[in-house]
Structure 1
Amino acid sequence: MVADLDPVADELYALPRDEFTAARNTAAKRARQSGDKKLAEQIQALRRPSTAAWLTNLLSREHPDEVRALVDLGDGLRAAQDQLEGEALRRLSQQRHEVVHGLVEQARALARSAGNPASDAVTRELEDTFTAAVNSSAAAEAVAGGRLTSALDPAEAGGLLGSTTPPAARQDRDTGPDREERLRRDLEQARSTAADADAAREKAERERTAAERAANDAAGTLRELRSRIEAAEKAERDTRTRARSAERDVGAADRAAREAQRRVRDLERRLDQH
């Protein structure tokens, strides 16, 4: 990643979500016009954040201290797990629930302020993202970096269990320049994973849109067929009503004809008698 990309990316991911694509394309065009083809390609590759990712990015900018607290909380949980400190684990687990819930509520408040209240699905994605940030230092750094493009998965971010690195070794690794370099690598990997997930999400959204369009078309066809069936059923009922009325008329005409014939025969008999 070239140095010039960072300020451009920071600026883009700080924008309202619906302004991202146009601003990204403009920035990429400007880089191409200035002769920096590589930077233009890197800018063009930046993906628009999902709603949950955008809210997370917004929260990391407006409440950075609270978001950064996820790193410390995750470190504390992992340390307690390594040292098998049950009471500390219970206390920190409760704190995790409270911190995640608090951040989700703050993100939802930001969504309401922006005139776009978070749906239940977005709320679940926010919960997953903040939980992932507790479970993984790399995920926490990605959240704090403010450039997420999609929600994070707690399972993929890595849990508190299963760590095979001794506490002392992790402490040595997590100090000084080595820790910073490792975190930078982890951050790049997390961003790459998030970008892939975002691409999968966009594909799924396109497929969902196509499926919804097909479902709507089918529903329209079904409504038309039902309307035609109802009209045909009504026509059948009307026709049968007319048929029954005509049948009654036929019966009445038949009786009248027989009565007229009897009258004719009676008169003919009387004439013959004279």
Structure 2
Amino acid sequence: MQRKGGRRRDTDGQEAEAVEQVLDELYATPPSAFVSRREERAAAARTAGRKEDARRVHAARRPTLAAWAANLLTRSQPEETRRFLELGQALREAHRTLDAAGLKELSAQRRRIVSALSRQAAQLAGEAGQRLSPAAQREVESTLRAVLADPEAADRWAEGRLEVSLTPPSAFPSGTAPAEPVRSEPAPRPRPKSRGTAAGTRAKDELAERRRTRQAELERAEQEAERAARHLRDARAEQADAQESLRRSDDELGRVREAVATAEERLRAAHEDLDRAERERREAEERGRTAADALAGAERDARASARRVDRLTGRGR
């Protein structure tokens, strides 16, 4: 029983590994061929009876061109990817500990590496037949900055299955090191603020809060718009695939109809040949009966003639 259960677990593990490999293959596929390849792999899983694998494969969403280029980068350059992720860890640690010197050095390194990797992603995409526009390349840079700033974004990028570009958090340092604290004499006790000053401070705080709220709403709206655009692209691609499938079906139907018409024509000709053969056979039978009657009459006439000859020659006495 244990051996049987072990085999089942091994089989499940192999199937799970197989579907992960299929997903990896899909997200390495250029976006223009993503939907057709996805449907092909999902159909293969359904045919093999792996319904859950087919569901997972069919649920995979086509990546944007910039997200695909970022995926291509992490898959094609594993060593550089590892170093980049390590740089992100060091940069986040420097930011947490407020290590001014380390943060300044790592931030400069970050700018150089982000620029270099984004150009490399554009080159890899071009070699795969997909040209990145300047906007798409900026999205790749945004994803790389997010990877450095956010450990969750780093994990997602390392998987190589991004569907959309990533946006770095606004709280991440822009590249300037925090100012070191300056020692000074104790400051004199602050004077009480006037009511006007306090009201002005509150107004500024409220304005800043409204700006932060609007910025957050804008980011959410942009994300929703990106998801909607991605779904629209997928729907259009699926429609194009369906139209292509319909065109192939129409072509095949035309060929089958032509073959049926040819077969029907041959069948009609065969029936005509059969009717002609049967008619000729009946005519031959009729000629045979006529010939048989003529033969019988000729035989009778011959016997009668023979008897007359015998009588005339006296042989019949």
TM-score scaled by length of structure 2: 0.50
Q: Does 1:68 align with 2:82?
A: yes
Tell which deviates more after alignment, 12-21 or 94-103. 12-21
Match of 1:26 among 40, 43, 51: 40
Unaligned segments of structure 1, at least 5 residues: 162-194, 207-274
Give the aligned residue type for 1:202.
R
Q: Distance in 1 between matches of 2:136 and 2:77?
A: 19
Once the two structures are superposed, the pairs formed by residues 12-51 of structure 1 within 5 Å of their partners are 12-51=26-65
Contact 2:24 2:160 (8 Å CA) reproduced: yes
Give the aligned residue type for 1:199.
R
Partner residue in 1 for 2:196: none
Match of 2:99 among 66, 77, 85: 85
> Residue 196 of structure 1: CA displacement?
7.8
Assess, with a 3 A threshold, how the Cα gap between structure 1 residues 203 and 48 changes in structure 2: closer, same or farther: closer
Assess, with a 3 A threshold, how the Cα gap between structure 1 residues 100 and 82 changes in structure 2: closer, same or farther: same
Partner residue in 1 for 2:313: none
> Residue 147 of structure 1: CA displacement?
1.1
> Residue 87 of structure 1: CA displacement?
0.7
Match of 2:230 among 173, 183, 202: 202
Once the two structures are superposed, the pairs formed by residues 240-259 of structure 1 within 5 Å of their partners are none
Contact 1:50 1:151 (8 Å CA) reproduced: yes
Assess, with a 3 A threshold, how the Cα gap between structure 1 residues 5 and 115 changes in structure 2: closer, same or farther: closer
Partner SS for 1:15? coil
> Residue 200 of structure 1: CA displacement?
2.8
Deviations 1:228-249 (A, max 9, x none): xxxxxxxxxxxxxxxxxxxxxx
Deviations 1:8-63 (A, max 9, x none): 10121122322211111011111112222111111100011110111111111211
Q: Distance in 1 between matches of 2:30 and 2:92?
A: 35
Deviations 1:202-223 (A, max 9, x none): 25769xxxxxxxxxxxxxxxxx
Task: Compare CA radii of gyration and give the structure with the larger one.
Answer: 2
Give the aligned residue type for 1:154.
P
Contact 1:78 1:160 (8 Å CA) reproduced: no
Q: Distance in 1 between matches of 2:127 and 2:46?
A: 36
Partner residue in 2 for 1:211: none
> Residue 197 of structure 1: CA displacement?
7.9
Partner SS for 1:155? coil
Contact 1:67 1:143 (8 Å CA) reproduced: no
> Residue 109 of structure 1: CA displacement?
1.2
Contact 1:50 1:198 (8 Å CA) reproduced: no
Assess, with a 3 A threshold, how the Cα gap between structure 1 residues 141 and 27 changes in structure 2: closer, same or farther: same
Contact 1:70 1:140 (8 Å CA) reproduced: no
Give the aligned residue type for 2:52.
K
> Residue 117 of structure 1: CA displacement?
2.2
> Residue 98 of structure 1: CA displacement?
0.8
Contact 2:64 2:230 (8 Å CA) reproduced: no
Work out the percentage of aligned pairs sharing the same amino acid. 38
